[in-house]
Every structure is written in structure tokens, then in C-alpha cells.
Amino acid sequence: MTCLVSDDAELQRLNKQFRGKDYATDVLSFPEDGGGEIAISFDRATAQAAEMGHSVDEELRILMLHGVLHLNGLDHETDKGEMRRTEECWRKKLGLPAGLIKRVGA
């Protein structure tokens, strides 16, 4: 697995190129056989950490966990809660605050 930490401009470019969505996002995942790549916006991570009241380091770890779950084939938009449950389990094991899925109530 490779993880790129960049800025909003780069995540917006990647989001538009690969998903057809012209806006910055916090994390993108690009699965490949046996692993893949994750891209994280440090700008989004900083803002979200401030909103949630925890450190940027914790937010980066939350975003990495979310990305890794996507690399492993989970998709919170279609899996009827499997990714949410898995993210919550790992979040607790890793001592992380609320994950992305829990925040939006998906």
C-alpha cells in the first residue's frame, strides 16, 4: 500500500480525473491486486480534526483506516453496514475517535 498526503488541489484533481467529481475530498482509494494506493488531503484532515476536536494525527489515522477498508473491497454506499461495523471495530482497537462513516450516520 502507498499513501499520498497532499493538499485539497491535488485531491480535487484526482477526484475529478478518477471519479468525475470536481471537488476536493478527504480520502480517495485506488485498489490494485494485493494492495493499492490511498490519497489524503492534509487540508481536509486539518479542518476535520479542528471540527471534531482531536489532533491532525488522529484524523490522518482515521482517513488511512477508511482508505484501507476501501482497498479491501468494502464500500459503505452499497454494503448494508458491513464497512461501518468493520471501521468501528478497528477504530476501537486502534483507540481512534469516531470514524468517517459514523460521523455522517451512514
Domain residue ranges of the chain, discontinuous segments joined by +: 2-104
Angle between helix axes 56-71 and 82-93 (nearest 10 degrees) is 140
The pTM of the full predicted model, rounded to 2 decimals, is: 0.88
Band (38; pLDDT cuts 50, 70, 90): very high
Residue position matching grid coordinates 477498508: 69
Architecture of 2-104 per CATH? 3-Layer(aba) Sandwich (3.40)
Q: What is the pLDDT of residues 52-105, one digit of tens each?
A: 999 999 999 999 999 999 999 998 888 888 998 999 999 999 999 876 666 665
Q: Are strands 2-6 and 35-41 parallel, antiparallel or unpaired?
A: parallel
- Do 94 and 65 form a contact (C-beta atoms < 8 A)? yes
Give the per-residue pLDDT at 24.
Answer: 96
